Structure 1
Amino acid sequence: MESPSSTRPRHAARTRRPALALAVAAVAVLVTSAGTAPAQADPGDTGRMSKLNKQIAQLDKAYGGDLAKLKDAQYGIQKAQQKQRLLQRDLDGARTLVAQMAASQYMTGTTDPAVAVLASDDPDNVLNNASLASHVASNQAAKVRQIEQLVTEQKKAREEYQKKVDELEKDIAELRSQKRKVQAMIKKFKPESPSSGMGGVTPRMLKVKNTIDIEFGPFPIIGCVRMTGDPQDHATGRACDFMVSTGGTMPSASGKSLGDRTAEYAVANANRLGIKYVIWRQRIYDMRSPGWRTMENRGGVTANHYDHVHISVF
């Protein structure tokens, strides 16, 4: 016959198991419910982006090619998705560790405070609870604070992603609403065939290049046809880069002024010259959807068009 003292450990173990399960489950609920987003876009997002990408491809073909503004929005959405995936990976790892912490603390004899805190009905505030911070060791409390930060960052990343998708939908709708205007523009400036004997640029691009060079040149260099990187209209001879500094360096005050004047002239004379869009200082002005718009950060002076004015023609 077992004595009362011999039955106590088993009884304690039995009573601890439900509380332990509650602690571990509560940690999972806490981390996933406090504003986290899935590692990848959910099926609704996937279908939404698939539809938008198809619309961009159709518009790109029908509206004179290379809708750089919409493609820049696509790039921003891809970056936002990648940020979500990385945050989710960190969050998953932290969540597992905290679940192990809760189990370890309880099994080593810690009493109810942690379980009560973790099982709180208010998971948004549980990570700030002083009783939890005092209940775990200092390194564990730091991990809990790290999770709180990850939860907040994941929520912000999700909101940023949704905002970018919403903006892309608006841009597509705006462009489609100007269908007659854009088609008239395309009819007026029918795309020209690539040429030979002129460096591969089209006659229209050559005219724009010469006109701007006469007005504002000489430039350090003007680059037109290329096939490397993301060639955009460069590959078809319908774009030139008017450099205002070289070597990937930020331009001087006079160089910036030259770029400003070149970009302003191109926009003001776009209808006369057949210019499709202008990019300067991480902004784009597309004649099919007028107005300057900030572009995504590509990570460098040249990639963000701070050292040159990009001009594309129809």
Structure 2
Amino acid sequence: MPRTSFTRPRARRLLTVLLAAVALLLGAGVVPAAAEPGEGGTKQLREALEAAAKGHIEAKAKLDNSKRRQVALVAELKTVEGRLGQLTAQVGEVAAQSYRLGRLTPTAMLLESTTPEGFLRRAAELDVMAQRDGKRLRSLTEAKQAAAKAKAAIDNEVREQQKQLAVLAKKKRDAERALATVSSGSSAGFSGGSRSASPAPRNSDGSWPSETCSVSDPTTDGCITPRTLHALKQAQAAGYKRYVSCFRSGGGGEHPKGRACDFAAATSGFEDKTATGGDKAYGDSLASYFKNNASRLGVLYVIWYRQIWMPNTGWRSYSGSGSPAADHTNHVHLSMY
């Protein structure tokens, strides 16, 4: 009996050690419920932030596309104006010759012929001149029309850019209003994360393709969007390989849509305490990485250590309910477009 009573506690201790070791190898231990990341904020706040960030990203894509079209149109106009100058000079030569020599009529040219052969030669010359001068005049007219069309198109692009700038300003105001209840203003943000990510695929006009939760989530048994998977793989390739959890079926926000991931700051996974030291530095660098690569990856917003980054506001303070999970001091939250 004494031997048995000694063996059972020892076996229990050994089993506990083994379970802890296995959990550590898997990237996260038994996570206390309080340490589990939540989406953060109210449903209304999340929807407002999503709408403001999406509106900004879409308007920015339209603005950039309009600027690209304007550059192409300006180049086209420059070429047309060069051609227009050449044609104007050529037609001017014809007009100057007519002024110096008087109007050269077909009848006058033919009457100058003294032989039948001369008559035919003059007739052929007259036809060539008529074709040449007519072509110059038509080309001049077409060049003028092309220049006018290019100028009108450039004016349209300028109006489009003014429209999108107004949208960007409005979406920034929307974001600031939404954040007013959880933010006390701008913040300094974080350092690190300077490595560039490979860009995710875009549409030909620069916008982001519409995506659904269609690919397997390597961090859970759920699904994520292809763009979210790309961002996850790019972060891991950049060296951010600590525990990650993306899809979550319950609640609202981006997780159930496969457009969000939570990255643990600690090497052992989500801990119910605020990250410090190396864990804090890891989170700082990862948050900066997503911010610096937002336009390449399609980042909607990033939350880390009581701060939130959005493309139209930059880093702002962000307060939760006070726990490490709610304040995002134990994990970096990434939401994708």
Q: Return the TM-score normalized by structure 1.
A: 0.42
Structure exhibiting the larger radius of gyration computed from Cα positions: 2
Q: Return the TM-score normalized by structure 2.
A: 0.39
- Give the number of the structure with larger relative contact order, counting CA–CA contacts within 8 Å between residues 6 or more apart: 2
